[in-house]
Structure 1
Amino acid sequence: MGKEKTNLIKRLDIKEVHALNERTKELQCVYRVFKLFRDADIPHERILQQALENEKAKLFRDVQRKYEKILSGFIPICASCKKIKDEQGIWHPLEIYVQSRTEATFSHGICPDCVKKLYPHFQRK
């Protein structure tokens, strides 16, 4: 049951992202119409511009809500290795957990504090 729920959530998120992409295309069409009215010097330009700005703000709020939903709430994380426990009780590396739920990707490096701790012989004199 738990795995099915996770897969359903992922499918819903993909569907929501697709719907947002479709809405973006619609807004691009509205913008093109707005430009036509603006270029034709039609007096209702301000009304159309306000409508477009309202739609853009609504779209931004929708996208923000979707991403907040993906990574929100209580996330159990190991204090030592930083693995995260999922809904089924399985521990995953932080990168895998985040990448499977968002569009984020990670690049790895070593911070200056860890260089000092792990590689003290590389310190500049």
Structure 2
Amino acid sequence: MINLFNLIYIDMPWEEPIPLTSSFMKSLLLTVGLGVVIFLLIRKLTRNKVYNMVKQALWGVQFGVHTLSSAFWLLLSFSSNLSADDRILRLLISLICIALTIQTILLFRDQMKKSSIISN
């Protein structure tokens, strides 16, 4: 709450912008690395059918909401005075979230098809 108050009421447009991260390459590697790890977790971590269905549904909802919010922040960053590195990082995060959302939706749909074929 204190940070939100500081952002809304104290920070003024003429103040020096604070970058989101200290090092662009460090943040870029962390973002891409986490994206790859989550991709492999979604793709390869399998157990029983119920676990997979719940996992894919929860990850899909989570990444869908994160995709919408990161796209919103990306649009807002064009009206602010963020550096180009921060904008590129936000764009990359949005693209990774979109890819992970599409992957979970496709896996969930395939799982639903497999379960309906097995039950018939």
**TM-score, reference length from structure 2:** 0.44
- Structure with higher Rg: it is 1
- If each structure's helix is expressed as a fraction of its own residues, which one has the higher value? 2
